[in-house]
Structures are given as structure tokens and as C-alpha cells.
Copies of this chain bind each other. A is one copy, B any other.
Amino acid sequence: MSNTKVLPLLEPADGKAVAPCCPPLTERPFTAEEAETAARMFKALGDPVRLRLFSAVASHEGGEACVCDISDVGVSQPTVSHHLKKLKEAGLLTSERRGTWVYYRVEPSVLAAMGKLLAIAPAAT
């Protein structure tokens, strides 16, 4: 897969311009800016409910899931919506309305960026 276009960790989608983020955590000390950017994403995954939602979307068939399919995480529906919004703002998910339902899908480039950040050795299993 050499044709995969790697996107910045956080998309400058709605006014928030962010750099292509960061070197591996182990390469050199993060600058304040880099830390700010990367921390935003870690923070987004730093809540159990959000992590479950993210995992639910990521593991759902077709790579996307309707809210109705994943909203059984033990909190009220508004709270689910709130967390999905946070994940979207962090650039981890995208949403699309199709008729009655709203579908969320994972932004794949973000996982890749996170991998580089962690300096993961490929296939080290």
C-alpha cells in the first residue's frame, strides 16, 4: 500500500489550522505546540465512553456505523451525541447523514498518525 495518502493528525477542517503534527514520541522532546496538538487526540480517546464509541464504529461492518447501532454504551442518547461530536472535533470520526440515520466512520489517517507517534514497529507481534 504505497498509494495511501497520509493526512495530518488533525485536519484543519473548520478554522483550526494544525501542523502535520508530530515526530515519534521517542525521537525528541515535543514542543509545546506539538504537545498541544497530539494531546487533543489522546484526550479525545481518554474517556471510556468515547473509546467504546470509537471502537464500535471502527469495528463495525463496512467501517461505518449508524448512531442507533452503537448508542448502547450505558449513557443517555444526548450524551452519546455529545461524545461523537467530540470525536469528530478531534478529527477521529466523520459523520454523514443518509436519510433518517446519521453514519459515523473512522478517519483512517489518524490511526496511522498515531502509530507513527508511538513509533510502533510494524508487525512486531
Binding site for B on A (CB under 8 A): 1-2, 4, 6, 25-32, 35-36, 38-40, 42-52, 54-56, 58-60, 70, 73-74, 106, 111-112, 114-116, 118-125
* Nearest-CB residue, chain B, relative to A27: B59
Give the one of A27, A73, A119 with max B CB within 10 A: A119
| Residues on the B chain within 8 Å of A122, using CB | 1, 120-123
Measured in the bound complex, the distance between the Cα atoms of B70 and A28 in whole Å is: 12
* Nearest-CB residue, chain B, relative to A65: B29
| Residues on the B chain within 8 Å of A111, using CB | 25-26, 118-120
A117 to chain B, nearest CB (A): 10
